[in-house]
């Protein structure tokens, strides 16, 4: 959802909020005030100077201009590499990028950092955004939306709170009991907080949820401010869905991954970047031979008119993948940010697209409606339909991306076929086709539709959807398409002088061969939307090459990402759901197979769902703040099918 931007008025280059009638920072000493109130108020200096490795998790309310974040980033940067920062903040009225740039230009000593923040600053859409700096040593999670609501969706443990936000007298809504309750839920004994205000509502609010609160001298002429330490949660919130509670985990030394497609390779890199040694087991001699092996795939999210959990996953995943690709391949050697058009090839789709734009659900920089003429101009060839245009979207070569993912000193790729998993004496034993027995403390199952071949995961309802793409040589004369076009099928601009288009969508098909019938179907879909390209390609129709693959999908078309539940225990513990779906379970806990995780079922959306899912799994396994909202994580939890069956009384 698009949010209301901050309405800023400038008094001599200092930003002032018209919505809240308050300043963002002290005009000439903002950075000193930030250091005093938050850095010193939370007593971070001894932590940072301590010799032990430090992964500092900070929670902030009110990101505003990002000054607090940048001041702390600078501090961490000045220390050695064993210190890293994950700064989590929330913002209900995001500044637009030009206001942000202007506001931060007041601090010339911070230019080096502000110059990196501004280009990565997210589009104005609600949800969790992820920004990475200094080789991932500094992470910024920006939750666009209301503070209490955003924090209620976060799964993390925070070391120190920066309680900023306009003064309680000017912004009473933010300093709510709901926010304080979430702050307590996300704290652990010893978590500190500091805030510029000494208002009674804040003092009492934090005391009531379990903080020891003290007053201190405020900055400059301010008399008082508050600091404190968390003791214990006095208002714990009941767990609503205990079957989705995640098992505790400690960062392991090594992880073994089964399956070398987009999901396995992205998971491998997310772990390797955290210093974990990864063994990636792939049964074929090459990576990405299954659904991830097409020469090109469209990188975009089909967005719903009204926000849904699936839409949120797709949008977050899309934004995450685009940011990641910009970071890892700025020269666009294996992807292209050429834009994607999603054509309205039926009246129903046209009405849906009009509705989506009328409701102003998404910002214009993300998606806008264009006429067939405008799209023809952008695509550089005749386009038959009106449609949506996504300028920041594009295409990716999934196989090249997989190769890039595993090119890391912490990853070794092994060719083996794993047939069976068993757990003995604290370790997983992986029985392989060649007879060799491998062992591992942690295993992530990423082998698409084969993920339910193991006893532990045989309850996962996976299905395959056959798809064939057609590939043809693009002669210089017809090598002219400039952006990805999605109609009933899709086509990308030529890569290595070849067009790749398709794909068929066959729920029953098991045929591995490339068929002429499917080529005809792909050509027909192409002809409907791009007559000129079709005319060129159709003349070569007998020389079409192709590739068939099977997308691995699930009944709800959401991927399966998370810990592997113990099916029998889940059924027994939550049996009461058969009689009453709203039953409140006291102290009931879901059990999981120890250190066994699943990442599969990405269908044809792997380019946008795999990288964010990999980050999610790596964060779960390494006990870090999770990058997706709790309700989205629940919606992809591997236990959901068992629970749905209990509720429907089909198990």
CA–CA distance, 638 with 106 (Å, rounded to integer): 49
Interface pattern 410-449 for ligand SAM (x via CB under 6 A): ----------------------------------------
Going from the C-alpha of 455 to that of each of 378, 464, 497, 568, 593, the distances in angstroms are 51, 20, 46, 12, 11
CB of 394 closer than 8 Å to CB of 491: no
CB of 647 closer than 8 Å to CB of 299: no
Q: Smallest gap, in angstroms, from Cβ of residue 129 to ligand SAM?
A: 14
- Name which position in 106, 141, 171, 637 contacts ligand SAM (CB under 6 A): 171
Cβ neighbours for 319, distance < 8 A, ≥ 6 positions apart:
122, 123, 125, 129
Q: Smallest gap, in angstroms, from Cβ of residue 5 to ligand SAM?
A: 10
Query: Under the criterion CB under 6 A, does residue 323 sit at the interface with ligand SAM?
Result: no
Looking only at residues 22 through 41 of this chain, which bind ligand SAM when binding is defined by CB under 6 A?
24-25
Q: Smallest gap, in angstroms, from Cβ of residue 91 to ligand SAM?
A: 5
Q: Smallest gap, in angstroms, from Cβ of residue 118 to ligand SAM?
A: 14
CB of 278 closer than 8 Å to CB of 268: yes
Query: Under the criterion CB under 6 A, does residue 219 sit at the interface with ligand SAM?
Result: no
Residue span binding ligand SAM (CB under 6 A) among the ranges 158-166, 260-268, 272-280, 356-364: 158-166
- Name which position in 8, 39, 56, 65 contacts ligand SAM (CB under 6 A): 65
Q: Which is nearer to ligand SAM, 133 or 501 (CB)?
A: 133
Measured from the Cβ of residue 491, the count of other Cβ atoms closer than 10 Å reads 29
CA–CA distance, 420 with 21 (Å, rounded to integer): 64
Q: Smallest gap, in angstroms, from Cβ of residue 3 to ligand SAM?
A: 10
3-state secondary structure of 231: coil
Query: Under the criterion CB under 6 A, does residue 64 sit at the interface with ligand SAM?
Result: yes
CB of 600 closer than 8 Å to CB of 460: yes
Of the candidates 183, 171, 167, 309, the residue with the CA atom closest to the CA atom of residue 234: 183
Cis peptide before 503 (omega within 30 of 0): yes
Tokens at 643, concatenated: 């629970």
Query: Under the criterion CB under 6 A, does residue 92 sit at the interface with ligand SAM?
Result: yes
Query: Under the criterion CB under 6 A, does residue 622 sit at the interface with ligand SAM?
Result: no
Block residue for tokens 């193991």: 454
CA–CA distance, 85 with 161 (Å, rounded to integer): 13
Q: Smallest gap, in angstroms, from Cβ of residue 168 to ligand SAM?
A: 11
Of the candidates 129, 482, 487, the residue with the CA atom closest to the CA atom of residue 342: 487
CB of 20 closer than 8 Å to CB of 171: yes
Per DSSP, helices labelled H in 359-407 are 372-379, 398-406
Query: Under the criterion CB under 6 A, does residue 609 sit at the interface with ligand SAM?
Result: no
Query: Under the criterion CB under 6 A, does residue 185 sit at the interface with ligand SAM?
Result: no
Residue span binding ligand SAM (CB under 6 A) among the ranges 159-167, 326-334, 522-530, 574-582: 159-167
Going from the C-alpha of 30 to that of each of 38, 63, 195, 220, 417, the distances in angstroms are 12, 14, 14, 11, 59
The C-alpha angle with vertex 597 and arms to 592 and 598, in degrees rounded to 5, equals: 120
Strands 592-600 and 560-565: antiparallel
CA–CA distance, 395 with 642 (Å, rounded to integer): 36
- Name which position in 41, 59, 62, 293 contacts ligand SAM (CB under 6 A): 62
Query: Under the criterion CB under 6 A, does residue 464 sit at the interface with ligand SAM?
Result: no
- Name which position in 1, 58, 67, 393 contacts ligand SAM (CB under 6 A): 67
- Name which position in 1, 37, 39, 68 contacts ligand SAM (CB under 6 A): 68
Going from the C-alpha of 8 to that of each of 103, 120, 220, the distances in angstroms are 10, 21, 25
Q: Which is nearer to ligand SAM, 24 or 597 (CB)?
A: 24
- Name which position in 41, 122, 127, 165 contacts ligand SAM (CB under 6 A): 165
Q: Which is nearer to ligand SAM, 171 or 553 (CB)?
A: 171
Query: Under the criterion CB under 6 A, does residue 114 sit at the interface with ligand SAM?
Result: no
Residue span binding ligand SAM (CB under 6 A) among the ranges 79-87, 88-96, 130-138, 492-500: 88-96
Q: Which is nearer to ligand SAM, 5 or 251 (CB)?
A: 5
Query: Under the criterion CB under 6 A, does residue 127 sit at the interface with ligand SAM?
Result: no
- Name which position in 91, 312, 449, 634 contacts ligand SAM (CB under 6 A): 91
Q: Smallest gap, in angstroms, from Cβ of residue 130 to ligand SAM?
A: 18
- Name which position in 26, 42, 90, 256 contacts ligand SAM (CB under 6 A): 90
Q: Smallest gap, in angstroms, from Cβ of residue 68 to ligand SAM?
A: 4
The C-alpha angle with vertex 289 and arms to 287 and 290, in degrees rounded to 5, equals: 125
CA–CA distance, 342 with 573 (Å, rounded to integer): 46
Residue span binding ligand SAM (CB under 6 A) among the ranges 62-70, 272-280, 391-399, 530-538: 62-70
Question: Residue count at the site for ligand SAM (CB under 6 A)?
Answer: 22
Return the residue nearest ligand SAM (CB atom): 62
Query: Under the criterion CB under 6 A, does residue 282 sit at the interface with ligand SAM?
Result: no
Which secondary-structure segment (H or E) carries 593? Answer: strand 592-600
- Name which position in 1, 6, 184, 471 contacts ligand SAM (CB under 6 A): 6
Q: Which is nearer to ligand SAM, 174 or 526 (CB)?
A: 174
Q: Which is nearer to ligand SAM, 160 or 174 (CB)?
A: 174
Q: Smallest gap, in angstroms, from Cβ of residue 89 to ligand SAM?
A: 7
Query: Under the criterion CB under 6 A, does residue 124 sit at the interface with ligand SAM?
Result: no
Q: Which is nearer to ligand SAM, 61 or 191 (CB)?
A: 61
Tokens at 561, concatenated: 């990402």
Query: Under the criterion CB under 6 A, does residue 182 sit at the interface with ligand SAM?
Result: no
3-state secondary structure of 227: strand
CA–CA distance, 416 with 297 (Å, rounded to integer): 27
Residue span binding ligand SAM (CB under 6 A) among the ranges 170-178, 388-396, 501-509, 625-633: 170-178
Tokens at 635, concatenated: 């919606």
Query: Under the criterion CB under 6 A, does residue 174 sit at the interface with ligand SAM?
Result: yes
In 366-432, beta strands by DSSP E = 368-370, 387-390, 394-396, 411-415, 418-424, 427-432
Q: Smallest gap, in angstroms, from Cβ of residue 202 to ligand SAM?
A: 14
Residues making contact with ligand SAM (CB under 6 A): 6, 24-25, 62-68, 90-93, 146-147, 164-166, 171, 173-174
């Amino acid at each position: 959802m698009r949010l209301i931007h901050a309405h800023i008025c400038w008094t001599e280059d200092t930003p002032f909020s018209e919505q809240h009638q308050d300043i963002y920072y002290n005009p000439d000493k903002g950075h000193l005030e930030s250091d005093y109130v938050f850095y010193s108020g939370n007593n971070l200096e001894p932590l940072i100077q301590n010799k032990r490795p430090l992964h500092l998790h900070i929670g902030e309310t009110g990101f505003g201009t990002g000054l607090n974040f940048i001041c702390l980033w600078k501090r961490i940067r000045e220390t050695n590499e064993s210190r890293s920062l994950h700064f989590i903040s929330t913002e209900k009225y995001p500044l637009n990028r030009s206001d942000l740039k202007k506001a931060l230009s007041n601090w010339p000593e911070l230019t080096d950092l502000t110059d990196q923040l501004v280009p990565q600053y997210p589009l104005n859409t609600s949800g969790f955004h992820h920004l990475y700096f200094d080789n991932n040593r500094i992470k910024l999670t920006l939750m666009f939306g209301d503070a209490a609501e955003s924090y209620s969706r976060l799964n993390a443990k925070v070391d120190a709170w920066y309680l900023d936000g306009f003064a309680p007298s000017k912004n009473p809504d933010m300093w709510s009991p709901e926010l304080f309750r979430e702050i307590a839920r996300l704290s652990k004994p010893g978590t500190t907080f500091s805030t510029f205000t000494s208002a009674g509502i804040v003092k009492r609010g934090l005391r009531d949820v379990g903080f020891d609160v003290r007053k201190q001298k405020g900055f400059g002429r301010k008399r008082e401010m508050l600091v404190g330490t968390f003791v214990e949660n006095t208002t714990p919130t009941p767990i609503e869905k205990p079957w989705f509670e995640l098992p505790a985990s400690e960062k392991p030394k090594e992880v073994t991954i089964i399956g070398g497609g987009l999901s396995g390779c992205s998971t491998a890199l997310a772990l390797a970047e955290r210093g974990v040694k990864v063994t990636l087991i792939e049964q074929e001699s090459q990576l990405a031979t299954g659904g991830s092996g097409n020469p090109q795939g469209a990188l975009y999210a089909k967005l719903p008119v009204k926000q849904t959990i699936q839409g949120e996953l797709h949008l977050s995943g899309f934004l995450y993948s685009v940011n990641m690709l910009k970071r890892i391949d700025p020269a666009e050697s294996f992807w292209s940010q050429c834009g994607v058009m999603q054509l309205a090839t039926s009246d129903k789709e046209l009405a849906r697209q009009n509705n989506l734009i009328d409701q102003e659900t998404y910002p214009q920089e993300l998606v806008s409606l264009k006429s067939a003429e405008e799209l023809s101009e952008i695509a550089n060839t005749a386009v038959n339909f009106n449609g949506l245009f996504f300028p920041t979207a594009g295409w990716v070569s999934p196989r090249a991306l997989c190769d890039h993912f595993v090119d890391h000193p912490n990853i070794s790729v092994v060719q083996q076929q794993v047939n069976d998993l068993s757990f003995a004496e604290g370790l997983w034993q992986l029985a392989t086709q060649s007879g060799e027995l491998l062992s591992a403390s942690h295993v992530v199952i990423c082998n698409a539709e084969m993920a339910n071949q193991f006893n532990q995961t045989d309850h996962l309802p996976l299905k395959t959807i056959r798809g064939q793409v057609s590939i043809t040589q693009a002669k210089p004369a017809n090598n002219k398409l400039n952006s990805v076009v999605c109609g009933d099928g899709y086509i990308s601009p030529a890569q290595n002088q070849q067009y790749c288009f398709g794909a068929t969508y066959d729920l029953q098909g098991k045929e591995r061969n490339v068929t002429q019938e499917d080529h005809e179907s792909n050509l027909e879909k192409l002809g409907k939307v791009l007559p000129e390209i079709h005319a060129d390609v159709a003349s070569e129709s007998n020389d079409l090459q192709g590739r068939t693959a099977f997308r691995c999908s699930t009944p709800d078309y959401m991927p399966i990402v998370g810990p592997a539940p113990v099916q029998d225990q889940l059924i027994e513990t939550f049996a009461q759901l058969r009689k009453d779906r709203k039953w409140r379970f006291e102290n009931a806990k879901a059990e999981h197979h120890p250190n066994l995780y699943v990442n599969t079922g990405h269908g044809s959306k792997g380019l946008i769902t795999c990288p964010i899912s990999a980050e999610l799994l790596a964060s779960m396994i390494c006990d870090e703040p999770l990058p997706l909202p709790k309700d989205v994580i629940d919606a992809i939890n591997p236990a959901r099918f068992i629970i749905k069956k209990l509720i429907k009384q089909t198990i």
